[in-house]
Amino acid sequence: MVREIIPARRATRLPGSPGYVLGLINLRGTVVTVIDLVQRLGAGSADSREGSFILVAFGKGAVGLAVDEVRDVQSVVSQRVETAGVNVVDGLPAAIVRGLARTADGLVTLLDVRAVLRQVMSSVEEES
């Protein structure tokens, strides 16, 4: 689902949108909605000046997820993903946690990006 990772840039705020919606950016002629993933998950707020935007496919377009940093990009073999007993990890609801994976750097929580976006977009529609 990840299309690309770009440096954070200023987003045009949308009046009346929830606080976790940073706004819109123009990416090579395409308007992209940017969500502050850190704030939406209840862990503070992403540094939108220093972080990155992870652009993910959603519907016919893309949505940007603002994150504090991207440390590495790795492929994870599905056989190495532990799902048994994964309920709530680091305070994240089980509905958005895909599992845990061991990498060279340690244990990594894998999010179900589709579930996160469905949750975010349904919240935006309910609030508007």
Q: Does the pLDDT value for residue 113 go beyond 60? A: yes
Q: Which domains are assigned to the chain?
A: 2-127 (2.40.50.180)
| Ranges of H-type helices in 1-128 | 37-40, 113-127
CA distance 22 to 14: 8
Residues 18-61 have pLDDT tens digits of 888 899 999 999 999 999 887 877 766 655 567 899 999 988 88
**Most trustworthy range by pLDDT among 1-5, 70-74, 78-82:** 1-5
Single out the residue of 28, 82, 88 nearest to residue 55, CA to CA.
Answer: 28
The model's pTM is: 0.78
Q: What is the pLDDT of residue 12?
A: 95
In angstroms, what is the C-alpha Rg of the chain? 15
CA distance 64 to 79: 28
Contacts within 8 Å (CB) and 24+ apart, 24-32: 25/53, 25/64, 27/55, 27/62, 27/64, 30/61, 30/62, 32/61, 32/62, 32/63, 32/64
